[in-house]
């Protein structure tokens, strides 16, 4: 019997307790561009691209041995979920209020940053988890997907 560990199972509980963590590659790229930062109407645009290989999702069937002990018997070779790709974007504008400080003519005592974030811009629906137990009526049922596209409007107040 070959007992080599090919992927570490998560130590979480509930929906995160049955995930095998083993991505052979992962990419994260972030960028920020300041549009006309010297102008009063200037603003920032940012993006984050994240991708990784899909985690293993080994299929199994529950069996009972001769002594009555229950086992999970893996079926077939390694099965992986699809690769995960997400793009997030951000747009923000900072406003200054109050008296400017000496030596910092463009900065006021108070700053308000208004932002708009869009997560999962392409609205990907990549499957993250399925019911791997092939002995159940709902085998291969989707248990978790990437969160859908979400818009977030935010405001941050800063002061000196």
pLDDT in single tens digits along all 160 residues of the chain: 454 556 666 766 666 667 778 889 999 999 999 999 999 999 999 999 999 999 988 888 888 888 888 888 888 777 889 999 999 999 999 998 886 655 555 566 899 999 999 999 999 999 999 888 888 889 889 989 999 999 999 999 998 7
pTM over 0.75: yes
Are 51 and 86 within 8 A, CB to CB?
yes
Give the closest residue to 145 by CA, choosing from 111, 117, 120.
120
Give the closest residue to 126 by CA, choosing from 143, 141, 144, 146.
146
- End-to-end CA distance of the chain: give it in Å, rounded: 66
What was the pLDDT predicted at 1?
42
* Spatial separation of the C-alpha atoms in residues 149 and 119, rounded to whole Å: 6
* Spatial separation of the C-alpha atoms in residues 15 and 151, rounded to whole Å: 25
* Spatial separation of the C-alpha atoms in residues 37 and 107, rounded to whole Å: 13
């Amino acid at each position: 019997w070959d007992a080599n560990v090919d992927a570490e199972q998560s130590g979480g509980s509930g929906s995160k307790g049955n995930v095998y963590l083993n991505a052979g590659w992962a990419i994260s790229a972030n960028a920020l561009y300041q549009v006309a930062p010297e102008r009063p109407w200037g603003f920032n645009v940012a993006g984050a691209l994240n991708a990784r290989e899909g985690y293993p999702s080994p299929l199994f069937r529950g069996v009972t041995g001769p002594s009555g002990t229950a086992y999970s018997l893996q079926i077939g070779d390694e099965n992986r979920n699809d690769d995960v790709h997400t793009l997030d974007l951000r747009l923000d504008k900072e406003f200054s209020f109050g008296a400017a400080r000496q030596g910092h003519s463009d900065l006021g005592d108070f700053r308000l940053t208004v932002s708009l974030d869009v997560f999962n811009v392409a609205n990907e629906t990549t499957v993250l988890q399925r019911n791997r137990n092939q002995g159940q009526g709902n085998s291969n049922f989707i248990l978790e997907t990437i969160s859908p596209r979400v818009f977030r409007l935010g405001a941050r107040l800063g002061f000196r």
